[in-house]
Amino acid sequence: MRALALLLALALACGDDDAGTPDAAAPLDAALDAALDSSTPDDAAADAGDPEDDAGADAGPEEPIDPVAGAGTVETVASAYMGEDFGFLEGPHWIDDHLVFSDLIFSSSARQTIYALGADDALSIVVRPSEGANGNGTHPDGTHITCLQGGRRLAEVTPGGELITRIERYEGQRINAPNDLVFRSDGLWYFTDPGYGVNPGDREIDAHGLYLVAGDTLTRVWTGTTTQRPNGVVLSPDEATLYLADTADGVVRAFDVAADGTLSGERTFAGDTAGADGMTIDAAGNLYVTTNVGVRVFAPDGSEWGTLAIPMQPANAAFGGADGRTLYVTARTTLYRVPMPIPGL
């Protein structure tokens, strides 16, 4: 704008018949002064450009947060070494304002328990005996569902600690040993059955698999052999991808999820994950896989951030806490927690 005003002033001044005489300098000077005065601060800023806009354009996309580098110190919450009668801890899951987790050891009825950990770290018993409860989850309607590995069924856990059977058979045959589960926001859900602990002679279904529950309809959406062990199961934040850990094969598989819950596009998401067991995911889509060497963390594209070292071999993990930024890890006879930089789902 300032340059344009100067050009116009010069044009007007040059158009005067007396421009060549000494007296013509006066109108030219006046025109230039007027042009300079007419240049407002806004015009000057526009000519100079906005430094903030330039800085933003140069900055580029925000770098993703490294969840392993940003993790806090691993803390022991409760352990057999602290006097608790724990055998093998599994199935951590945050419900409302507390964590629930399972002790699935079958050798002692006292160890077949679903526990609740309160805000003050006080432990209470939700269900005992629990028929070897393993994975826990919450339906979108608020119902607590648990996988009764020893009881060979999935059950609703009432506020009073009663177990009400929800699923026990597939096509008329008794399921083997439900292990883990995950819910979609619309109420569809999945559970794994790796067959752990069931004698071959007691099997009615000669396969291990992943099942889809849609209302009253039960469908096996992935079938493995009896040597494969589908274990942990998790959905991506947008629920478009399902991740399935196979403990026997030592891989994490990924599938595309259709609107009706069926799966396609099976692929290996993370190979060489020996002992892959329970899993969880954060809001950025990073996948946390419990393995023989600790909790391995993978970015959504399958690249690995690194490993969270846990003092004992972990079996499962879940996010919780008031802000969702605490990672709880069940590891044999101990429950750990780790402050994390990204909240979980």
Q: Domain boundaries in the chain?
A: 2-49, 75-339
- Give residue-wise pLDDT tens across range 97-124: 999 999 988 656 567 999 999 989 999 9
Whole-number pLDDT of residue 95 = 98
% the chain with pLDDT above 90: 77
44: three-class secondary structure by DSSP: helix
pLDDT in tens, 178-211: 999 999 999 999 999 999 999 999 999 999 999 9
pTM of the model: 0.83
Q: What is the pLDDT of residues 168-180, one digit of tens each?
A: 999 999 999 999 9
Which distant-in-sequence residues (6+ apart) come within 8 Å of 30 by Cβ?
none
Determine the CATH number of domain 75-339. 2.120.10.30
Closest CA to 177 of 157, 204, 158, 213: 204
pLDDT over 50 at 163, yes or no: yes
Is residue 160 a contact partner of residue 135, using CB atoms and an 8 Å limit? no
Give the integer Cα–Cα distance in Å for 110 and 226.
31
Q: Which residue has the tokens 């596009």?
A: 265
